């Protein structure tokens, strides 16, 4: 059994009980309890008048600079309507409503005083940011993590935001992450908002093949529309920070407070929050203004008919079947090389290409420069070797900074021992009907 620890309150009660006994010496008791006679008589007086033995509140009786009750109530009403909004957003919204709001620190104190603040673990330092100079120069597109509906089905939210203005171009409740689904949802958005110059995505399906520079059906479709598909650096999610932060807001302000029976109900919630986000919600990354104040639709219209690619005179063009991943050239079938296969080069150049691990210097947002040793990509001799490597290796360990994939470099499927010298690359081969990928 351990020794019982007495609190200060217990010692005060014991002191007063002993001091009230007949013949008690208050001065001696004060010395035994380690307090002054003045303190001893103070607690005897307080307990004699019926006060509890706890310390009195140190809160002032009058605070002339305290925020008015009506303004505090306005702060709490905004917080209750938008539980995920912080002090700066609330202060800006009150200012937009014509009120004279207190400072952001005072708003935070009001929220803390009324138990509206939940303490979260601190986040790490922000990475360096980039932003396009005008709307529609770059859109960012990604799927947020799926969530389950009350019906048991899964919802895959597809999000598209403008890089310059942070305007939410679209939030679509999808049934899957397939290419056809993305295209069906993206086409009406492009018809309403116009065509951007480029779209920024990660390297996974349906945007990419998992290998830098790979071609997919979605990328070919966007290319025909004059939209470049830019892939983020593999294993570096900080490059898609705007998307990740948008997904965090979507989760905190929509998904955390409601359950949806079906996709239609989820889409309705997304549409309502998108309107709030674009036109009313202050955005801290753009000087506390709403994204709609910085966004204008694109002047590039969606074409009524998908344009066909135009080739220069003398280029060799072959159509690719939708069921066979090869073309016919000089009466023989040829299939595309794997993107990781090197370009044909002389033996001396191939030998010189084998380098030891290279040092890649990374620049952090705080100015610190960190050097990492990266392995060179192996030299592959077949598609099978390259595919096995991609499926088993961690590409983040390899130096991809100077990697230039050969997408349209074709080699024969049959008669590999023929004396005919195959062309090292067929310029102008373009997947016009059946896409490669």
Given a contact cutoff of 8 angstroms between Cβ atoms, the answer to whether 171 and 157 are in contact is: yes
Given a contact cutoff of 8 angstroms between Cβ atoms, the answer to whether 269 and 241 are in contact is: no
pLDDT over 80 (residue 170): yes
Predicted pLDDT at 280: 87
More confident: 382 or 98: 98
Predicted pLDDT at 431: 37
- Strand pairing class (147-148; 168-174): unpaired
- Strand pairing class (369-374; 358-363): antiparallel
Question: What would the mean pLDDT of 321-346 be, rounded to a whole number?
Answer: 59
Question: What would the mean pLDDT of 331-351 be, rounded to a whole number?
Answer: 51
Predicted pLDDT at 103: 85
Question: What would the mean pLDDT of 281-287 be, rounded to a whole number?
Answer: 82
Read off the pLDDT band of 230 (50, 70, 90).
confident
Given a contact cutoff of 8 angstroms between Cβ atoms, the answer to whether 410 and 298 are in contact is: no
How far is C-alpha 108 from the chain's CA centre? 25
Question: What would the mean pLDDT of 178-182 be, rounded to a whole number?
Answer: 90
Mean pLDDT, the chain, rounded, equals 74
Predicted pLDDT at 105: 84
More confident: 237 or 100: 100
For residue 16, give both structure tokens: 């007063």
Between 88-97, 138-147, 222-231, 415-424, the lowest mean confidence (pLDDT) is in 415-424
What secondary structure does DSSP assign to 190-203, as a single string? HHHH---SEEEE-S
CA atoms of 182 and 205, how far apart (whole Å): 11
In DSSP terms, 199 is beta-bridged to 139, 229
Read off the pLDDT band of 348 (50, 70, 90).
very low
For residue 412, give both structure tokens: 């024969």
Specify the residue for token string 């004279």.
100
For the stretch 115-169, pLDDT in tens is: 777 655 444 544 556 678 889 999 999 898 889 999 899 999 999 999 898 899 9
Between the CA of residue 231 and those of 27, 183, 213, 237, 258, what are the distances in Å? Answer: 81, 17, 8, 11, 33
CA triplet 136, 141, 147: central angle to 5 degrees?
A: 145
Predicted pLDDT at 118: 67
CA atoms of 294 and 278, how far apart (whole Å): 10
pLDDT over 60 (residue 332): yes
For the stretch 64-85, pLDDT in tens is: 777 777 888 888 888 888 887 8
Question: What would the mean pLDDT of 183-194 be, rounded to a whole number?
Answer: 91
Question: What would the mean pLDDT of 76-95 be, rounded to a whole number?
Answer: 84
């Amino acid at each position: 059994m351990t020794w019982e620890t007495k609190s200060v309150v217990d010692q005060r009660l014991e002191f007063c009980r002993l001091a009230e006994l007949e013949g008690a010496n208050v001065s001696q008791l004060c010395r035994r309890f380690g307090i002054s006679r003045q303190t001893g008589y103070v607690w005897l007086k307080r307990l004699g008048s019926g006060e509890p033995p706890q310390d009195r509140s140190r809160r002032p009786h009058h605070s002339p600079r305290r925020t008015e009750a009506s303004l505090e109530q306005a702060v709490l009403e905004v917080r209750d309507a938008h539980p995920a909004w912080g002090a700066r957003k609330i202060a800006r919204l009150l200012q937009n409503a014509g009120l004279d709001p207190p400072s952001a620190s005072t708003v935070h104190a009001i929220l803390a005083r009324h138990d509206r603040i939940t303490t979260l673990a601190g986040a790490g330092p922000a990475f360096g940011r980039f932003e396009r100079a005008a709307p529609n120069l770059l859109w960012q597109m990604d799927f947020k993590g799926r969530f389950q509906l009350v019906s048991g089905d899964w919802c895959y939210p597809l999000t598209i935001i403008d890089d310059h203005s942070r305007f939410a171009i679209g939030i679509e409740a999808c049934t899957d992450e397939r290419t056809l689904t993305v295209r069906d949802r993206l086409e009406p958005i492009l018809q309403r908002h116009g065509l951007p110059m480029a779209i920024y995505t990660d390297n996974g399906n349906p945007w990419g093949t998992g290998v830098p520079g790979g071609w997919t059906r979605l990328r070919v479709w966007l290319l025909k529309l004059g939209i470049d598909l830019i892939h983020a650096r593999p294993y570096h999610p900080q490059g898609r920070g705007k998307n990740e932060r948008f997904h965090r807001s979507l989760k905190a302000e929509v998904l955390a407070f409601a359950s949806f029976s079906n996709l239609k109900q989820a889409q309705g919630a997304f549409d309502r929050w998108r309107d709030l986000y674009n036109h009313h919600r202050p955005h801290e990354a753009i000087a506390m203004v709403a994204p709609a104040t910085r966004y204008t639709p694109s002047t590039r219209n969606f074409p009524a008919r998908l344009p066909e690619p135009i080739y220069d005179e003398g280029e060799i063009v072959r159509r690719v079947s939708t069921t066979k991943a090869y073309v016919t050239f000089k009466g023989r079938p040829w299939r595309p090389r794997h993107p990781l296969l090197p370009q044909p080069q002389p033996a001396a150049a191939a030998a010189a290409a084998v380098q030891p691990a290279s040092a890649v210097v990374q620049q952090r947002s705080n100015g610190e420069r960190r050097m990492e040793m990266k392995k060179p990509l192996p030299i592959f001799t077949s598609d099978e070797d390259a595919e096995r490597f991609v499926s088993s290796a961690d590409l983040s360990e390899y130096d991809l900074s100077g990697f230039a994939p050969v997408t349209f470099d074709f080699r024969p499927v049959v008669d590999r021992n023929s004396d005919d010298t195959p062309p090292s690359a067929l310029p102008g081969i373009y997947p016009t009907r059946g896409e490669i990928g």
